A and B are shown apart, each in its own frame.
Chain A
Amino acid sequence: MEKVIVNSDLYFDCLNKDPNLSFSVVSGKEVFLFLKDINNVNSIDIDVRNDSILRLSIFSKNPIDLLKITANVAKNSKIICYFADFSVEKNHLEASINLNDEDAKCEWHLASLSSQKDDKNISVSIYHNSPRTFGKIDNYGVCKDHSKLVFSGVSHILKGCHQSASHQNAKIVVFDDNCLAIAKPILRIDENDIEASHAAVVGKVSDEHIFYLTSRGLSVDEAKLLITLGYLKPILKGFDQSVSNEIDSVIERRL
């Protein structure tokens, strides 16, 4: 497996490449890495070295059998990940972020649209292996038709990793009686001097929200669409204009 050294912004097309990818962000750099056509990729290993920032953006629109993402974040470094999951049929994703040294940080943002007979299992975990590390997971999903969408994962703060903070947020809006949506964000905390929170919301669009929007003249369908887009569109800020436009058109078409 060849390791790709990332020292400047990189648009990486995964088509016809090794299914096991490896990237290393050099020290002291702030870089953007966009991965395209990842559906045949089995694993992605990422090293974020000292004092660097990686903005990782992944857009998927094809089936994913099993994709494992492992990131190791070094001292005073940060990984910010935007995963736009518009895969059809299936997506089995296992992401593990290791915050290995002091002041390592991770922000994970994922938006997932699950429709028809899609079967999606998305697990995102952050391991706080050093003091003063910060992790935040925001997983937002829309579940329709006969599809299945599961958000899981663990935020684990190991003993001795004081003054660390870990937050998880999993929200799925459910459209139909026949779909299955599960959100189970788990915290494992072995240290006292920390901050941690986890929240899970699964449910239909709130009647109060619908009333609020319709009281301003929007029809029920327009209100539902606007609220649903609110689950998916915030992910666009992680992508450049051309990819953002492509994701936008996929959202509009599939909703």
Chain B
Amino acid sequence: MATLKINDLHVEVEGKKILKGVTVSISEGETVALLGPNGHGKSTLLNVIMGHPRYKITSGSMYLDDVDITHMTTDERARAGLFLALQNPAEVTGVINSDFLRAAVNATSEEKISTYKFYKMLDGATKELKMPFDLATRSLNEGFSGGEKKRNEILQLLLLKPKIAMLDEIDSGLDVDAIQIVADVIKKEEENGRGFLVISHYARLFDLIKPTRAVVMINGRIVLDGDTSLIKRIDQNGYEFIKTELRIEIEKENADMNTVSIGSCAVKESIKK
């Protein structure tokens, strides 16, 4: 069984410390809810695990299947079995979605698949997500609605079959029906043995996907790692109990972060120049 192990990870971006000793693990077949206030490093952690070149790891390590991935390139991590569904997937003009998907499937498979087999896979996956097939023939995410972009991320997950998938606010931009469809896919894929690390600010998604564990990130660290009752507690009462019970002072988002809107990465926005 594959396990992703993050050990005492410290990360900075442009000299600013964002992650200050993250330790957490996710195994295949489990779904972990990653909770925490805005601007405390949740999206940063997911991007760092995927190898975003903007973030600098200053100490700590990451292992997948006992293989050290700390210094692997992004594509090597993807081929090792990691996947990140982005909060705001880029629109890439001119790159046809199906060309990209096929290149990605071939890059992560041991052998190249035939055109027939690929389109059969694509047809099956788009039907499962109730996506119009014509989205596959358009430029990657260009002109897609928010919901279509998110479904397209899950489409990639279905085609690439990673060991561990990270979902960064996959439910933002989805209507109620679409959240149900995406949640059904996540549940099915969990049963197929995939591991999930999921960020969401809404209990609705967690009600549907029923995580096996919940972890809470405050001030760039995982301060709680426990059962899913944490989700309900935070949904109802917020993060105040962290202060009183754990005696951890929750750092305020800096001034720039207050301008960040829902659906964007607070850390990334705050360091924009």
Interfacial residues, chain A to chain B (CB-CB below 8 A): 140, 171, 206-209, 211-220, 222, 226-227, 229-234
* B231 to A: closest C-beta gap in Å: 27
Residue of A nearest to B108 (CB): A217
Closest to A111 in B: B94
Report yes or no: B86 in contact with A212, Cβ–Cβ below 8 A: yes
**Which residue of chain B has the shortest Cβ distance to A208 in the bound complex?**
B90
| Set B52, B53, B54, B94: member contacting A231, Cβ < 8 A | B94
Q: Which residues of A contact B95 (CB under 8 A)?
A: 226-227, 229-230
Among B6-14, B22-30, B73-81, B172-180, the stretch in contact with A: B73-81
- Interchain CB contact under 8 A, B160 and A212: no
Counting CB contacts under 8 A, is B43 at the interface? no
| B50, CB-defined interface residue at 8 Å | yes
Find chain A residues with CB under 8 A from B93 CB: 171, 230-231
Give Cα A232–Cα B100 distance, bound, in whole angstroms: 15
Q: Which of A209, A216, A227, A229 contacts B104 (CB 8 A)?
A: A216
- Once the chains bind, are B103 and A222 in contact (CB under 8 Å)? yes
Chain B contacts for A211, CB-based, 8 A:
50, 52-53, 74
Q: Does B99 contact A (CB under 8 A)?
A: yes
Can you pick out 17 interface pairs between chain A and chain B where the beta carbons lie within 8 Å of each other? A212-B86, A212-B90, A214-B51, A214-B78, A215-B74, A215-B75, A215-B84, A217-B79, A218-B104, A219-B75, A226-B99, A226-B100, A226-B103, A227-B95, A229-B95, A230-B92, A230-B95
Q: Does residue B107 face the partner (Cβ distance < 8 Å to A)? A: yes
Q: Which residues of A sit under 8 angstroms from B228, Cβ to Cβ?
A: none
Distance of A230 Cα from B160 Cα, bound (Å)? 22
Residues from chain B with a CB closer than 8 A to the CB of A219 are: 75, 107
User: Which chain B residues border A232 with CB–CB below 8 Å?
Assistant: 94
Instruction: In the A-B complex, list the 9 residue pairs whose CB atoms are closest, starting with the nearest.
Output: A230-B94, A217-B107, A216-B104, A230-B95, A217-B78, A217-B108, A214-B74, A214-B75, A212-B90
* A211-B52, A215-B50, A217-B108 known; A227 vs B103 contact (CB < 8 Å): no
Minimum CB–CB distance for B140 against chain A, Å? 8
Question: In the assembly, what is the distance between CA of A213 and CA of B103, in Å?
Answer: 10
Q: Nearest Cβ distance between residue B93 and chain A, in whole angstroms? A: 6
Pick from B75, B100, B103 the residue with the most CB of A within 10 Å: B75
Of chain B, the residue at the smallest CB distance from A171 is B93
Interface centre among B74, B83, B108, B139 (most CB of A within 10 A): B74
| B219 beta carbon closer than 8 Å to chain A | no
The interface residues of chain A lying within 8 Å CB-to-CB of B104 are 213, 216-218
A sample of 13 more A-B contacts (CB under 8 A), given A226-B99, A226-B103, is A206-B90, A211-B74, A215-B75, A215-B77, A216-B100, A216-B103, A218-B104, A218-B107, A219-B107, A220-B75, A230-B93, A230-B94, A230-B96
Bound Cα distance from A227 to B86, whole angstroms: 18
- Tell me the count of chain B residues lying within 8 A, CB to CB, of chain A: 30
Given A227-B95, A230-B92; A216-B160 close (CB under 8 Å): yes
Residues of B within 8 A of A214 (CB): 51, 73-75, 78
Query: Are A209 and B75 touching (Cβ within 8 A)?
Result: no
> Residues 52-80 of chain B: 1 if any A CB is under 8 Å from the residue's CB, otherwise 0?
11100000000000000000011101110
**A235 and chain B: residue at smallest CB distance:** B94
Quick check: A216 and B78 within 8 Å, CB to CB? Answer: yes
State whether the Cβ of B89 lies closer than 8 Å to any Cβ in chain A. Answer: yes
B89 touches A212 (CB 8 A): yes
CB distance from A208 to the nearest CB of B (A): 5
Q: Is the CB of A216 within 8 A of B90?
A: no
Does B38 lie at the interface of the complex (its beta carbon under 8 Å from any beta carbon of A)? no
**Chain A proximity of B109: nearest CB distance (Å):** 9
Contacts of A207 in B (CB 8 A): 53-54
Please give me the residue from chain B that is nearest to A201 by CB atom. B93
CB distance from A231 to the nearest CB of B (A): 5
B98 at the interface (CB under 8 A from A): no
- A111–B107 Cα distance when bound, in Å, is 28
Contact between A216 and B53, CB atoms less than 8 A apart: no
Q: Do A217 and B160 touch across chains, with their CB atoms under 8 A apart?
A: yes
The distance from the CB of B88 to the nearest CB of chain A, in whole angstroms, is 9
Residues in A with CB closer than 8 Å to B53 are 207, 211
State how many angstroms separate the Cβ of B170 from the closest Cβ of chain A. Answer: 15
**Given known A-B contacts A230-B95, A230-B139, A216 and B50 have beta carbons under 8 A apart:** no
Contacts of B126 in A (CB 8 A): none
Contacts of A208 in B (CB 8 A): 90
Given the known A-B contacts A216-B156, A227-B95, A230-B93, are A222 and B107 also in contact in the complex, defined by CB atoms under 8 Å? yes
Closest beta carbon of chain B to A13's beta carbon, Å: 30
